[in-house]
Amino acid sequence: MENKELMRLLRELRAGPEMMKWIGRRDISAVWRDCQRGDWLLWIAAKMAGACGWQERHEVLCATNDCIKLALHHLGGEMLITELRLAARDAYDTCMPNGEQEIYAASGAATVARAAYIAAKVYGPDGHKRMAEIVRKILPTPTA
């Protein structure tokens, strides 16, 4: 996906100004390769999950879970432990099937991104970078 199309998509998805500024002139391949924010990558993937050329919802959940698992090995305080547990539960509840319909509204992307963000905080100074590495390992570059 070229930059012009990516920027249009991100505006439609209401990406934050910090993300939009960082993306600048990058295309999706460069974003996926260079981004050091796992929460941003998960947010984009979750927003686009299931669309042609993008990852599936269960793959996004797998990446989120791996971020959380890594963070659990680097726990740093009761407040963050509680936040991480709640974020993990919310991400799971948001992405998993419930009866015949999936609970995956617009809040789903924010939920998985929040879980990765909290996981990065728990992990420590290199947390965002490590979460981005995990996301890239599980979620290939979108082909859309």
pLDDT digits (tens, 9 = 90+) for 57-73: 888 888 888 887 777 76
Cα 2 from chain centroid? 21
Lowest mean pLDDT among 25-29, 73-77, 133-137: 73-77
Which of helix, strand or coil describes residue 36? coil
C-alpha 140/C-alpha 110 separation (Å) is: 20
C-alpha 34/C-alpha 13 separation (Å) is: 21
Angle at the Cα of 129 from the Cα atoms of 65 and 33, rounded to 5 degrees: 95
| Cβ(41)–Cβ(32) below 8 Å | yes
Does the model's pTM come out above 0.85? no
Confidence of residue 78 (pLDDT cuts 50, 70, 90): low
C-alpha 86/C-alpha 99 separation (Å) is: 22
pLDDT digits (tens, 9 = 90+) for 95-138: 555 433 343 444 567 777 887 887 788 777 788 999 999 999 99
Rounded to 10 degrees, what is the CA torsion of 51, 111, 10, 101? Answer: 30
Q: What pairs with residue 98 in β-bridges?
A: 101
Among residues 7, 8, 102, the alpha carbon closest in space to that of 49 is found at 102
C-alpha 105/C-alpha 103 separation (Å) is: 6
